[in-house]
Chain A
Amino acid sequence: MLLDVQDLTIDIPTASGVLHAVQGISFSVDEGETLCIVGESGCGKSLTALAVMDLLPRRAIRAATSLAFSGRDLRGLSREAMNRLRGDRIAMIFQEPMTSLNPVFTIGDQMIDVLRQHRKVSRREARDRAVYLLDKVGISSPEARLAQYPHQLSGGLRQRVMIAMALMCDPKLILADEPTTALDVTIQAELLRLLMALQQEFGMGLVLITHDLGIVSRMADKVAVMYAGQIVESGTAETIFNDPLHPYTQGLMACLPAPERQRMQHLKAIPGAVPALVGAIEGCRFRGRCAHAQPVCERDVALREPAGAHPYRCVLPAETSRDNARAVLGAGA
């Protein structure tokens, strides 16, 4: 197992009480595998990635029963040891290509710094590696690009540079937090294909964080659906898409503009908003927006895995859920 996270909790003390941003989530990724964490903004998916990187805001409190990378426990790691791991064995790509590169240094300078931070190589060798990777991520005339500054590149190019930078040390795991959200749709598809190709070539594990089920369907081997700080459903991409059991997952899919569904049909939306996660919270987090909410949903619901189904966090029996799915998504689901 490349990355194994068990029962991860993130609490953030605020003026109005403790914000329970992430409440005991578990997931794992293997080499060459893509895990997609899906959810809407504020569900804790970005914080989850930052928690793995140990880059949470200073006041956030992280806890987990297991947080292991290649069998190494990350929880007890010193700051220096964690820093050696970051950028070398685990790399991260962020959502904002326009602001994620340092404006006052050249692309080359920033890329070379990453490799020379982790390896004893000459500037020359680091430069060669940067050229090789810029070429790999599909940037033309990479030699010339090295001398350019971020503001001279488009958003799409900058995100390619970010990817190349993350690959400088040949990492085993990439955490990508909404890497294409800020980009044009056409560039999105290209970049995702690139990310997938690179992942295959280098055999990396990939944790892709997104709110876009369309991306999930193209990229994921495994899916974890997050809602309000919890995983509400998880499984292989196939089972999630063919057999969505949680009302939230079903709702997300109903929101997807599907070509096979009627053209003129209105795009759907899930009514209501994500609950506040400050202070004591009880019961199913989704019940306020759920069409199937019952009195029993007032009590906490566990993530369960009944026979013949994958893990999901709902009181409804799998069969009832499947009936609902057919009603919501049509006969095809």
Chain B
Amino acid sequence: MLRFVLRRSGSALILMVVVSFVAFMLIFAAGDPAVKLAGEAGSAADAARIRAFYGFDQPIYLQFLHWIGAALHGNLGHSLYFDQPVSAILFDRLGTTLLLGLVSFIFALAISLPLGIAAARWQNTWIDRTALIVAVIGQAMPTFWFALLLVVMFSVIWPILPTSGSETWRHFIMPSVVLGYFAAPAIMRLTRSGMILALETDYVRTARALGIAPRKVLLKYALRNAVIPVVSVSAAQFGYMLAGSVVVESVFAINGAGRLAWESILRSDLPTVQALVLCFSLIYVILTFVADVLNAWLDPRMRLADARA
């Protein structure tokens, strides 16, 4: 198991380097940054000065090494808009977004796993059909619209929740429901199909033939097998939720990293965008890594196949 973790962390590390390079290259994707910074009234001489000041005249690999070296020391550059180090604004915002993501994720699992299991256990009954409807609505409804719907319901018609902000836990309820419901359908449908397959296997038949209690057959013998693909998809869904947080944070005026990303793009605040892309990518790489390790822990075949390879 330890060997597996080490191998996977090695490949995660390589992935991180690649991702950070792509994040770095973003600054050039939008055209010559020096010209952009000099502004419309800036002369060629201004641009040249800026180029020299920010080191844009150096070879790209040197710039990258310089940038990544600084990033490793926690220096993500200077925001062009806030006139502050990016790291000073970023980590606070990132914390808010991760908290929102985590609560939403827990909410997503809390509805999708039980519903998926129940839909498989009572396949083709009203329970299954209800779960399907819940999933289709979640999949089809745009998050911003669902968010507004909730605001109308619980802040206007029946004012029990605040409309915007991120001061108390009550501010997080509606955003988490919106984001969680966005992530839940994929997890639910996969849980359902995995459980249906697992319940038809020979080993579940064996467990029944040996009189293992039906509840245990369902929640231990079948679920442990069905949940393996769900883990990978859940990690991906968590990533999508971070992307979705851009919309949700805007609607609910939450000061998170998603909203910061959106605003920074509008302001052409490239160092901030760069840093955000890097952070989101790293989170994604870490999520994939955690999912891999979790899967290896759940499935002994994966662990040992990897050790043998």
Please give the residue numbers on chain A whose beta carbons come within 8 Å of chain B beta carbons, in ascending order: 53, 55, 79, 83-88, 91-92, 94, 96, 99-105, 113-114, 117-118, 149, 151-152, 162, 165-166, 168
Q: A104-B224, A149-B300, A151-B301 are in contact. Are A86 and B206 (CB under 8 A)?
A: no
Q: A86-B211, A87-B209 are in contact. Are A103 and B202 (CB under 8 A)?
A: no
A88 to B221 Cα, complex, angstroms? 19
A85 to B211 Cα, complex, angstroms? 7
Q: Which residue of B lies closest to A162 (CB)?
A: B206
Q: Distance (Å) between the CB of B264 and the closest chain A CB?
A: 45
Q: A83-B211, A91-B210 are in contact. Are A105 and B224 (CB under 8 A)?
A: yes
A85 to B212 Cα, complex, angstroms? 10
A151 to B211 Cα, complex, angstroms? 23
Which residues from chain A contact B134 at a C-beta distance below 8 Å?
Answer: none
Please state if A94 and B225 are interface contacts (CB–CB under 8 Å).
Answer: no
Q: Can you list 19 A-B pairs with a CB-CB distance of less than 8 A? A: A53-B209, A79-B214, A96-B202, A99-B203, A100-B206, A102-B203, A102-B207, A102-B224, A103-B203, A103-B300, A104-B224, A104-B298, A104-B299, A104-B301, A117-B216, A149-B300, A149-B304, A151-B300, A151-B304
Q: Distance (Å) between the CB of B109 and the closest chain A CB?
A: 20
Which residues from chain B contact A104 at a C-beta distance below 8 Å?
Answer: 224-225, 228, 298-301
Which residues from chain A contact B298 at a C-beta distance below 8 Å?
Answer: 104
Please state if B301 and A101 are interface contacts (CB–CB under 8 Å).
Answer: no
Of the candidates B208, B209, B214, the one having the most CB atoms from chain A within 10 angstroms of its own CB is B209
Q: Which residue of B lies closest to A114 (CB)?
A: B210
Please state if A55 and B205 are interface contacts (CB–CB under 8 Å).
Answer: yes
Please state if A102 and B221 are interface contacts (CB–CB under 8 Å).
Answer: yes
B201 within 8 A of A: yes
Which residues from chain A contact B204 at a C-beta distance below 8 Å?
Answer: 102
Which residues from chain B contact A149 at a C-beta distance below 8 Å?
Answer: 300-301, 304
Of the candidates B206, B216, B301, B304, the one having the most CB atoms from chain A within 10 angstroms of its own CB is B206
A79 to B211 Cα, complex, angstroms? 10
Interface string of B168-207 (1 = CB under 8 A from A): 0000000000000000000000000000000001111111
B213 within 8 A of A: yes
Please state if B209 and A99 are interface contacts (CB–CB under 8 Å).
Answer: no
Q: Distance (Å) between the CB of A3 and the closest chain B CB?
A: 15
A79 to B217 Cα, complex, angstroms? 14
Q: Distance (Å) between the CB of B198 and the closest chain A CB?
A: 10
Please state if B202 and A99 are interface contacts (CB–CB under 8 Å).
Answer: yes
Which residues from chain B contact A88 at a C-beta distance below 8 Å?
Answer: 211
Q: Distance (Å) between the CB of A130 and the closest chain B CB?
A: 13
Closest 9 CB pairs of A and B: A87-B211, A87-B210, A86-B211, A99-B202, A102-B203, A92-B209, A149-B300, A100-B202, A100-B206
Which residues from chain A contact B210 at a C-beta distance below 8 Å?
Answer: 86-87, 91-92, 114, 117, 165-166, 168
Q: A79-B214, A94-B205 are in contact. List 9 more A-B contacts (CB 8 A).
A: A83-B214, A86-B211, A87-B211, A101-B203, A102-B206, A104-B300, A114-B211, A117-B211, A149-B300
Of the candidates B207, B210, B212, the one having the most CB atoms from chain A within 10 angstroms of its own CB is B210
Which residues from chain A contact B225 at a C-beta distance below 8 Å?
Answer: 102-104
Q: Which residue of B lies closest to A84 (CB)?
A: B211
A92 to B207 Cα, complex, angstroms? 10
Interface size on B, residues (CB 8 A): 24
Which residues from chain B contact A100 at a C-beta distance below 8 Å?
Answer: 202-203, 205-206
Please state if A83 and B209 are interface contacts (CB–CB under 8 Å).
Answer: no
Which residues from chain B contact A94 at a C-beta distance below 8 Å?
Answer: 202, 205-206, 209
Q: Which residue of B lies closest to A98 (CB)?
A: B202
Q: Which residue of A lies closest to B202 (CB)?
A: A99
A151 to B303 Cα, complex, angstroms? 12
Q: Which residue of A lies closest to B298 (CB)?
A: A104
Which residues from chain A contact B205 at a C-beta distance below 8 Å?
Answer: 55, 94, 100
Interface string of B223-256 (1 = CB under 8 A from A): 0110010000000000000000000000000000
Please state if A55 and B209 are interface contacts (CB–CB under 8 Å).
Answer: yes
| B212 CB contact (under 8 Å) in A91, A96, A113, A152 | A113
Which residues from chain A contact B228 at a C-beta distance below 8 Å?
Answer: 104
Which residues from chain B contact A118 at a C-beta distance below 8 Å?
Answer: 211
Q: Which residue of A lies closest to B303 (CB)?
A: A149
A87 to B212 Cα, complex, angstroms? 8
Which residues from chain B contact A99 at a C-beta distance below 8 Å?
Answer: 201-203
A270 to B228 Cα, complex, angstroms? 47
Interface string of B293-305 (1 = CB under 8 A from A): 0000011110010
Of the candidates A53, A91, A100, A101, the one having the most CB atoms from chain B within 10 angstroms of its own CB is A100
Please state if A117 and B209 are interface contacts (CB–CB under 8 Å).
Answer: no
Q: Distance (Å) between the CB of A99 and the closest chain B CB?
A: 4
Please state if A114 and B224 are interface contacts (CB–CB under 8 Å).
Answer: no
A162 to B204 Cα, complex, angstroms? 13
Q: Which residue of A lies closest to B209 (CB)?
A: A92
Interface residues of B in 270-301 (CB under 8 A from A): 298-301
Please state if A101 and B304 are interface contacts (CB–CB under 8 Å).
Answer: no
Interface string of B98-122 (1 = CB under 8 A from A): 0000000000000000000000000
Which residues from chain B contact A55 at a C-beta distance below 8 Å?
Answer: 205, 208-209
Please state if A83 and B300 are interface contacts (CB–CB under 8 Å).
Answer: no
Which residues from chain A contact B300 at a C-beta distance below 8 Å?
Answer: 103-104, 149, 151
Q: Which residue of A lies closest to B224 (CB)?
A: A104
Q: Distance (Å) between the CB of B218 and the closest chain A CB?
A: 13
Q: Distance (Å) between the CB of A140 and the closest chain B CB?
A: 21
A86 to B213 Cα, complex, angstroms? 10
Q: Which residue of B lies closest to A115 (CB)?
A: B210
Which residues from chain B contact A86 at a C-beta distance below 8 Å?
Answer: 208-211
Please state if B206 and A101 are interface contacts (CB–CB under 8 Å).
Answer: yes
Q: Which residue of A lies closest to B207 (CB)?
A: A102
Q: Distance (Å) between the CB of B73 and the closest chain A CB?
A: 43
